[in-house]
Amino acid sequence: MPEEKFEHIFKCYYSDIYNFVYHYIMDRDDAEDLVQDVFIGFFEKYKSIPEEINTKQYLLAMSKNRCISFLRHKNVIDRNNLKYFESLIFSTTSEYDTTYDDLFSKLNLAMDNLSDLQKRIVEMKLAGKSYEEISDELNVTHSQVHKNIKKAYSKIRSFIDKNPDESKYLLLLYLFFHLF
């Protein structure tokens, strides 16, 4: 494909494709990455695309498929991270001479810094609920759940930095949030 033609297609459709992807996954950085992937994929496949295909519709279909794959991948990672976190808690409890209840009492201290929504999301996630279940129950998007997990991680990390004596108990919690 000539560079000028690709540049024209990119300029014409970028904002529409970006808006579509952003509203699908509700994260600006991830949306930018996915849109870039869509246009790279389009550029690579251009020669094999029939000329009668509507370019915008083709880009939107590619975008939807990328979004679905992205969200599925995040779901798998989240499920595995929760299992990993639980195994860390149970495997290291005796080393820190604490109980599961002690860990969650320390978590409650750290969670005092979180918004009500962030607290609910963290509690639901620790209870084993998926992003989809949390978003349905709280009537928020999947991406909002993910963003609030990130914000909660940041606040809890700040709590750990300010309270180093609590860090041995919150190390596992830190690992949990760091993995998301």
Q: Does domain 93-179 have CATH number 1.10.8?
A: no
Q: Does domain 3-70 have CATH number 1.10.1740.10?
A: yes
Longest dimension (CA), the chain: 69
Q: Which is more confidently placed, 150 or 30?
A: 30
CATH 1.10.10 segments of the chain: 93-179
Instruction: Determine the residue type at 96.
Output: Y
Query: The whole model's pTM is what?
Result: 0.48
> Each residue of 9-34: pLDDT tens digit?
999 999 999 999 999 888 889 999 99
CATH 1.10.1740.10 segments of the chain: 3-70
Given a contact cutoff of 8 angstroms between Cβ atoms, the answer to whether 113 and 158 are in contact is yes
pLDDT band per the 50, 70, 90 thresholds, residue 93: very low
Cβ neighbours of 45 (radius 10 Å): 12
* Burial classification of residue 177, based on how many CB atoms lie within 10 Å of its CB (0-12 exposed, 13-18 middle, 19 or more buried): buried
Residue 163 has pLDDT above 90, yes or no: no
Average pLDDT over residues 35-41: 94
